[in-house]
Each structure stands twice: as C-alpha cells, then as structure tokens.
Amino acid sequence: MLKKTEFTKLETINMPTKYGNFLLTTYQTCLKNDKSMRYIFVVQTPNLPEVPIIRIHSACLLSEIFNIELCDCNDQMKKSLKLISKKKGILFYLDQEGRGHGLFDKVRELKLQEKGYDHIEASIKLGLPVDSRKYYVVAKLLKAMKITKIRLITNNPRKIKDLEKDGIEIVERVIIKPYKNKHCYNYLLIKKEKQSHLIDI
C-alpha cells in the first residue's frame, strides 16, 4: 500500500475526451526525497485487462498548451491516449516538467538552445542534471493497483530499467513513432545519439 506520507488520493472523476472515456484519479504527493513532484494524474480506462498498456508521461506545458514544436511531447501524449482508449490501460501524468528541472529552468535551457547548445549541453551549462525524472512512483502506484505486468508505451530505455528494478515486468515495449518537424529534428537526434532512445529518425 502507498504510505499516506508519500501520496494522498484526492478524487476520481469521469473524464470524457475526444479519444475516449476515461477515469481520472488525482494524487497529491509528499515525497521526502523528491519535493519537486507535487501531483500525479492517473488516467485510465474503466475496464483494465490483466496486462494493461501503460504510458508514463511527464508534463510539458509549452507543447500541450501552446503546441510549441520544439519537442514531440504533445504528439506522444495524444497517440498514447488513443492507443490506451483502444487497447485499455493507464496514462500516468507526472509533475516532472523539463526533464524534472521545472518550467522556469526549462525556458532557460530553451534560450541556450537558441544559441546553439543541444538540450543536454544546456542542462550541463546551467549546472543541472541531464535528466532528473524519477519513475519509482509509478511502480508504487501500479503495485497498489495490484498490477505487476504491463505493456509499456515508450522509446526511453531508462523507463524500462527503472520499472523493472522496482519489480514491474515489462511484457512488451510498445513503439511510438516520433513526430518530426524542422524545429524538433535535432532534439530527437540528440535523444537517440546521446541518450540511447529507441527511435527511428
């Protein structure tokens, strides 16, 4: 079970969307070793199979609200919701903006990218970790839901390793084809070449 000191379950509501009908459960977090994560939204289909399809998605306000095309986050979320609606599963939406750096540092990084740095170089120049996102919280929630085997929608091998380390069996990795445009091509290339993301560009 989740410790009350780590998570507080708030409400579950019906969430009709253009992709399908979901249930949205909100959690407030109070993680001693990660005070930056304030909330988790769990978006799931009403009926889950024994091995559900899962997407772990970190918040990206600029793409999801303003449709900025410097990354493929918004496209990944939309494709994931469509697939989850069809195949039955869960999207975990985590408060980990800007690879865990927060919105304001993310904007500072984007400014450096305008000057020719890639997103990894920008993080290092600002004295930030390349990627400070954590996924153990999803493993905790899955276990609380009595789910230990999943099909994971991801191109990020680190998500696979982190979940497996915390006792979640990845039965299948479900591929998302990246959304490519002239603004985010280099971003995707760096993810593939420097972070070993499993993408074909």
pLDDT in tens, the chain (201 residues): 445 457 788 899 999 999 999 999 999 887 655 556 688 999 999 989 999 999 999 999 999 999 999 888 999 999 999 999 999 999 999 998 877 788 899 999 999 999 999 999 999 999 998 888 888 889 999 999 999 999 999 998 889 999 999 999 999 999 988 777 888 888 788 888 877 777 777
Bridge partners for 59 per DSSP: none
Whole-number pLDDT of residue 151: 97
* pTM to 2 decimal places: 0.90
C-beta contacts of 67-73 below 8 A and 24+ residues apart: 69/181, 69/183, 69/184, 70/110, 70/113, 70/183, 70/184, 70/187, 71/184, 71/187, 72/178, 72/179, 72/180, 72/184, 72/187, 72/188
d(CA 162, CA 145): 18
Enumerate the active-site residues: 131, 133
Whole-number pLDDT of residue 15: 96
Whole-number pLDDT of residue 198: 79
Whole-number pLDDT of residue 36: 60
Contacts of 39 (CB under 8 A, 6+ apart): 26, 27, 28, 29, 95
d(CA 142, CA 10): 17
Whole-number pLDDT of residue 33: 55
Whole-number pLDDT of residue 1: 45
Top CATH class of 7-96+133-195 equals alpha beta
Shortest CA distance to 79 belongs to which of 175, 144, 6, 190?
Answer: 175
Q: Give me the residue spans of the domains in the chain.
A: 7-96+133-195, 99-132
Contacts of 145 (CB under 8 A, 6+ apart): none
Whole-number pLDDT of residue 31: 60
